[in-house]
Amino acid sequence: MPIYWGDLHGHTVLSDGNYDLATGKRDRDDNTPAHHLHFARELAGLDFAAVADHDYALTEEKWAEIVRDANHFNAPGCFTAFAGIEWGHQSGGGQEERIALACGHKVAIWPGDDPPYFDWPNSTLEDFFRLVREHEGVSYMAHPCYYSLSDFERSDPQADVGIAMAFAEDATTYGCEYSGCPGWHHDATSGYTVQEALARGMKLAFVGESDTHHGMPGSGPLVGVHCEELSRQAIVQALRHRQTSATTGARIRFHEFSVNGTPLGGETRADRDRVSVCLRIEGSAPIVGVELLLGHPGATTPFPVVWTERPDRKSVQLETEIRLPQTPCLLYPRVLQADRHFGWASPVWIH
């Protein structure tokens, strides 16, 4: 199945996407939605991208500009452009901002040409979820363990289909897998990490996002979407079915990750205490580590690594059996390249 690369979280001058990476000042005025999508397509070489400006900054006129430019750049089979938003009110310290800081930020996209305007001053988190559901969109938890911490109890499983495994702030990449994960500039906040969401029984797609505020989508972590065609509907459906992988920016291709023949994002049954795992991975640099991690509802973090291989080559094809101490559980792979880039495939859940 083809793998398409994209970045669903980026800001423009219509909210706070006016940061100049060269000067460190917020004085750019050229990072329009059209510039953002042009950069994604022509300079970053992405297959899809979204403008996801902050809801609190958008008016109906600004939203109309985002929708117009997304429709202009959208060309199924060549490049897919989305109009999206980042939910997370800021209202000068009022109640809605406290709710956003308590619930976390969420990125939403819709598959249609006329996605709905979110009237944020008169809306709640529940209204946001309803808008996502009613217009057949999807949302995911952005930077769940930094700044605005994601409240996993206030998630709607019909809307919130994913979680960011890695994101960037300016030129710094942050990891969200588990608290205490080595190799990151700042530690993930305990209680709000990807593994802790999975340990609560949540079934989520892994996403990478740049969260760019300087007009450079694709300059940080990426999401790989595994689907048959490059279109809005296909990408949304793949996210909904968790057919995704996440990387810190390298295009690490999980051509196959399956458990008992069930591909990434799926659910399968174990008829005995072992399962068969197949991996076929193509790196952008030599792959120096492949690990399988095993989690289950109620598990403590970090999840144990139950299988490791150190191949030191760009293409890897592996088969192994994993013993399951208990079910239900989940398995997912983590890959490390020689250039220090990471990649993860969404889990397979085992009953």
Dump the DSSP string for 285-322.
Answer: EEEEEEEEEEE-TT--SSPPEEEEE---EEEEEEEEEE
pLDDT score recorded for residue 188:
86
Domain count, the chain: 2
Domain boundary among 189, 222, 247: 247
* Pairwise CA distance, residues 173 & 63, whole Å: 29
Q: Assess whether 241 and 345 both reside in one domain.
A: no
pLDDT score recorded for residue 22:
65
Q: Which domain covers residue 221, as residue numbers?
A: 3-247
**Burial bucket for residue 78 (CB in 10 Å: 0-12, 13-18, 19+):** exposed
Domain boundary among 200, 230, 247: 247
The full 3-state SS of 240-265, as one line of letters, equals HCCCEEEECCCCCEEEEEEECCEECC
Q: Assess whether 242 and 341 both reside in one domain.
A: no
Q: Assess whether 239 and 173 both reside in one domain.
A: yes
pLDDT < 50 regions, the chain: 91-100
What is the model's pTM? 0.94
* DSSP reduced 3-state for 206: strand
pLDDT score recorded for residue 21:
66
Q: Assess whether 177 and 266 both reside in one domain.
A: no
Q: Assess whether 227 and 281 both reside in one domain.
A: no
Q: Report DSSP state, residue 181.
A: -
Q: Assess whether 192 and 147 both reside in one domain.
A: yes
* DSSP reduced 3-state for 198: helix
Q: Assess whether 343 and 315 both reside in one domain.
A: yes
pLDDT score recorded for residue 299:
95
Domain boundary among 189, 212, 247: 247
The CATH number given to whatever domain includes residue 290 is: 2.70.50.50
The CATH number given to whatever domain includes residue 163 is: 3.20.20.140
* Pairwise CA distance, residues 349 & 351, whole Å: 7
Q: Assess whether 135 and 276 both reside in one domain.
A: no
pLDDT score recorded for residue 18:
81
